[in-house]
Amino acid sequence: MSRSIIPGRPSKAAQSLTKQGILHTALPLVQEYGIEAISFRLLAERLGVTAMAVKYHAGSRKELLAGLVDMAFANTLVRTEASEPTDRVRIILQAYCARAVINANLLRAVLEDTSLMCEEMHTITQMLRAEAQALGEQDDVLVFLLVDYTHGWVLSASCGKDNPLTMKDYLSGLDWILKRA
């Protein structure tokens, strides 16, 4: 059921429309149906405004997606007092993986267009790099392996509603990698 939009003065909903409000409306849709499912028109219908109002506040589709990635992965990083680099890597990646599973559709968008990576993702990568160096790694091979393993696992775990993979499975593989680091 769609509401008819009356030309002229914006409604109260349009006057209080914000980018954050749009993102909060879009995020659950993307999480459940994927990025292909969202459109300015659908968001406008959900918010009771015009598609142009949504576009005005959200920017381009790419800006909308970047905002969604930023919102979805904000505050993922967990500070840890663990003394061992392998323990710190485990804690960092467990937190990231848990968030990535929930936001697998956005992760797919980031993997297709790395310019959508948010600051939090860059920070996590830098922290992994520092921990790999603490383990004696001179290049980024371990970082690449950890990132590739994590993303591969997330994409596998998010394929279908009845997928049997659990965080315990992820951590088992992560521990196997870290034991050989």
- The DSSP secondary structure of 101-145, one letter per residue, reads HHTHHHHHHHHH-GGG--HHHHHHHHHHHHHHHHTT--SSHHHHH
Task: Provide the domain count of the chain.
Answer: 2
Pair 104, 160: CB distance under 8 Å: no
In-domain check, residue 7: no
Task: Find, among 26, 25, 13, the residue nearest to 53 by Cα.
Answer: 13
pLDDT in tens, the chain (181 residues): 555 555 544 555 445 899 999 999 999 999 999 999 999 999 999 999 999 999 999 999 999 999 999 999 999 997 788 899 999 999 999 999 999 999 999 999 999 999 999 999 999 999 999 999 999 999 999 999 999 999 999 999 998 888 899 999 999 999 999 999 8
Q: What is the CATH number of the domain that holds 29?
A: 1.10.10
Flag whether 2 is in a domain. no
Question: How crowded is the C-beta side of 5, counted as CA atoms within 13 Å?
Answer: 17
Same domain, 81 and 152: yes
Radius of gyration of the chain (CA): 20
Same domain flag for 90 and 174: yes
Q: Is residue 44 part of a domain?
A: yes
**50 shares its domain with 89:** no
Residue numbers of the domain that contains 130: 73-179
